[in-house]
A and B are shown apart, each in its own frame.
Chain A
């Protein structure tokens, strides 16, 4: 391997090495210096992000090179998503800065697992080989199973981890089965080779390869919580420690969709006509069921879980629209970025607000927040407005970009159903806003809140303003679309 290839792999290597080092160092670490752990984690993530940023800057004209014998491609697409994932992970660790010690989960393994999970994600968005991708999915998933259950005393946490683990293993089985079938038909697990094979007019219609494709969609459908593989979402989002929920809602989702875009766009696109109807149905079901279930929730994290299911549905439309000649992949990246940006401040506030032991979890507990803590209320309000897609928030421009690509690709009905779903979603996104701004507090004595580190507290109002207005600035929106376009041009 040449020096350049080492450099290209360095973001991934840094994460893996950092995770291993952290495990070793913790053994020798005196107990009172526990703050070393999150510090080291943040530093590792930062180094990795710097290296990825270096790759991005070094190849401004776009770059695509296969390394490790064609198992991994380092291209702008991977780098864009890597940076997004690293950013999300960085913020999640910051949210946990005081939360983790308070919930007695400040152990070296939590941080090293987090780093391993991120390493898995980075591999997942750069792999071009189904075996690499499978290994990446497992590295990510196994680490996240453990993280979900990291609050060992919490019953809901244990339940969530167990559920996620069982259902996740089952999904991995489906995924592996799909890979095996595809390999059996094609004789290769390399994405471009699969694409070549399916491009043959008869090959795409072979039942076995079709079953393989569908099993693969099913396996990944579980990871992104697409209906009917969504049953775990609410329990896991609720039971997981809030910073980890944030990590799942942002980083895991981004990485899984990175995988889906690359696989569907490179390997499966020639057989688009065979699976497009099925994925359309999947998208419609996912957004509709997600929104319907979200409406029935009284716990805010469960509501957000189903809202995240609904957003998966919107994103799946982008997979459907990949068949058009437009820029569907670009729109999906923009959507993912806006979704991550709107989610992170919200989860940061929920981390603080729910307090030690996550005592406050219900939507009605928000009553009076507008008066007692206007900054928190502002962040929650803006983030939810962005998720419902109210202009001029970033969520509006995300939806706008994605829906217009879906329309331009000729799926008018799909876009219409998505819009109807967005309308319906207003009903439940509005509820917390109503409760916190217009109902008086019911608690006589306000419950304790978790302290946030000063930097997060300072960042919250900035984040709220950014979510509210950032993409309305022409410079920012065009830049973001430009970057995303840069990442996806020549990808397939």
Chain B
């Protein structure tokens, strides 16, 4: 069982998705229930994994390693540690929520549900793979269902959005492939054998120009996936045009796999480059945080505002990652959880508002009295997003900022102001949407009908998320206990890497441009 569980987490949703896609029964509701059951089984397995996970160990657990392609040195190497555990749990537990929210897909229901399951399987594969090429395959595979989910069931401009999304992602991931091949070829030159297994590759680090080229290719690809400024161009359109449950999954989990790639592959494979480029990358992430927060401030559309808010938070998370500080890293991994619940939950809520009236802020105002429960939930989740103490967003942001201060005081100060901007746009949006006065109807038009409060089905999705937000806000330690050892295991070799004097110069030169 221990040997099989990770493979099961990856392949069960893929197989179940295929089964649902090929299922001859045309009844939409039946396929929805089947998909829900399949994702529920996935969730049960993820929880089994959680209960079997040994707290306090830093290395990979439940490891499987078999030679997959002998001639290419590709291994079927899976393993789970604190970092991947958080993401796997998010994937397995948020997919049922997303599927639950997609009950009313208008057309091609089977294909929709199958794509969603396939997305979950591919994401689980990317997160659990410890062979670089195996990771790459799953990383690319995520794109296929996401492409269909945005392009077939999205909003009006879905074709543009999905094309942009795919082109951006591929532009990033193909240089990643070259860099991977380069790292593999270097391993071949040193040892005489092809291998793409992560531990093997870490044993033969690159140096000089090849190292820098490889490092930037890795960072570039993952920065695009994570939506880091200035490579975030695909994110707002995709998040706005995608159907709500899909945005929920893309912003909640998929974007984080880009960050995960940086944590797991880009920094450990190029520790020297990571050290030298640290300040530059932190500054870039900081610019992204504030820039996206400003853009969020001026949005008039709820969904677009949340898209920029998500980009801003991801950039803050990346700043923690680039600071190479263990506290910031724990905070960043904790923020995987916090941000997924906060952004995902807010997107779900905005989707509910969109079903009731629309997504433009100007259409709302003073609705708190009509929908008290919806307002309450929205407020809690939004407060978690801006980092109110007692909710889990605070823990994440606090740890990241502490790490940032330790790493670079000046940038830490600026980053703190970035968090303030986050509070500004969020609170202002809430004030305009839920409070204030009901907008006067245009001349001759009837006043907008009263809104309906949360239905039971909607509450079922949201309440568990709110509970987790509050619980991990007060009790972050159980989560951090599982994250910290893995962070140490990955980070300490990076911190110990010796930077040759000439590399510092190269790093500065590359920041200049």
Contacts and interface: CB of A to CB of B under 8 A. Distances in A.
B171 A423 contact: yes
B71 A419 contact: no
B151 A434 contact: yes
Contact of B163 (A391, A415, A434, A485): A434
Given A407-B182, A408-B188, A437-B152, A474 B170 contact: no
A390 interface: yes
A453 interface: no
Given A404-B181, A404-B184, A434-B151, A426 B68 contact: no
A419 B151 contact: no
B148 interface: yes
A481 B72 contact: yes
Contacts of B178: 403, 407, 415-416, 419
In the complex, which of the residues A404, A407, A422, A474 has the most CB atoms of chain B within 10 Å of its own CB atom?
A404
Interface in B149-204: 151-152, 158-159, 162-163, 166-167, 170-171, 174-175, 177-178, 181-182, 184-185, 188-189, 194
A412 interface: yes
Contacts of B167: 426-427, 430
A189 B190 CA distance: 41
A482 interface: yes
A481 B71 contact: yes
B144 interface: yes
B69 interface: yes
B80 to A, nearest CB: 22
B72 A400 contact: yes
Given A419-B174, A423-B170, A437 B151 contact: yes
Contacts of B371: none
A401 interface: yes
Nearest to A476: B69
Contacts of B283: none
A285 interface: no
Contacts of A423: 170-171, 174
A209 to B, nearest CB: 33
Contacts of B141: 391-392
B243 to A, nearest CB: 14
A404 B144 CA distance: 24
A403 B72 contact: no
A277 interface: no
A189 B467 CA distance: 82
A401 B137 CA distance: 14
B62 interface: no
Contacts of B457: none
A359 to B, nearest CB: 26
B136 interface: yes
Contacts of A478: 69-71
A438 interface: yes
B173 to A, nearest CB: 9
A295 interface: no
B208 to A, nearest CB: 13
B301 interface: no
A477 B71 contact: yes
A272 to B, nearest CB: 20
A472 interface: yes
Interface in A366-414: 385, 390-392, 396-397, 400-401, 403-404, 407-408, 412
A400 B210 CA distance: 19
B504 interface: no
A424 B210 CA distance: 24
Contacts of A401: 72
Interface residues of B, dominant DSSP: helix
A414 to B, nearest CB: 11
Contacts of B63: none
Contact of A403 (B143, B158, B181, B188): B181
Given A403-B181, A407-B185, A437-B152, A422 B174 contact: yes
A403 B194 CA distance: 13
Nearest to A415: B178
Given A408-B188, A478-B69, A485-B71, A419 B175 contact: yes
B170 to A, nearest CB: 5
A437 B182 CA distance: 36
A423 B173 CA distance: 9
A404 B185 contact: yes
A27 B69 CA distance: 53
A422 B189 CA distance: 26
B140 interface: yes
A426 B170 contact: yes
A471 to B, nearest CB: 8
Contacts of B159: 434, 438
Contacts of B140: 390-391, 396
B209 to A, nearest CB: 10
Contacts of A477: 69, 71-72
Contacts of A408: 185, 188-189
Contacts of A430: 163, 166-167
A390 B194 CA distance: 21
Contacts of B166: 426, 430
Contacts of A434: 151, 159, 162-163
A392 B69 contact: no
B181 A415 contact: yes
A71 B181 CA distance: 40
Contacts of B189: 408
Contacts of A482: 71
B181 to A, nearest CB: 5
A438 B154 CA distance: 11
A412 B170 contact: no
Contacts of B185: 404, 407-408
A400 B69 CA distance: 12
Interface in A452-466: none
A474 B70 CA distance: 8
Nearest to A474: B68
Nearest to A392: B137
In the complex, which of the residues A391, A408, A437 has the most CB atoms of chain B within 10 Å of its own CB atom?
A391
A419 B166 CA distance: 16
Interface in B99-152: 133, 136-137, 140-141, 143-144, 148, 151-152
A430 B70 CA distance: 32
Contact of A474 (B69, B181, B188): B69
Nearest to B21: A374
Interface in A73-93: none
A311 to B, nearest CB: 16
A427 B137 CA distance: 20
Contacts of A412: 182, 210
A250 B399 CA distance: 58
B105 to A, nearest CB: 15
Contact of A419 (B143, B148, B177): B177
Contacts of A427: 167
A415 B188 CA distance: 17
Interface string B380-401: 0000000000000000000000
A438 B162 CA distance: 11
Nearest to B76: A474
A128 B96 CA distance: 63
Nearest to A481: B71
Contacts of B181: 400, 403-404, 407, 415
B500 to A, nearest CB: 22
Contacts of A397: 72
17 contacts: A397-B72, A400-B181, A404-B184, A404-B185, A404-B194, A407-B178, A407-B181, A407-B185, A408-B185, A412-B210, A420-B174, A426-B166, A427-B167, A434-B163, A438-B158, A438-B162, A478-B70
What 8 A-B pairs come out closest when comparing CB atoms?
A: A481-B71, A391-B137, A408-B185, A404-B181, A407-B185, A419-B178, A423-B174, A391-B140
Given A416-B178, A474-B70, 20 more contacts: A385-B144, A390-B143, A391-B141, A392-B137, A396-B137, A396-B140, A403-B181, A407-B185, A408-B185, A419-B174, A419-B175, A419-B177, A423-B170, A427-B167, A434-B151, A437-B152, A474-B67, A477-B71, A477-B72, A481-B72
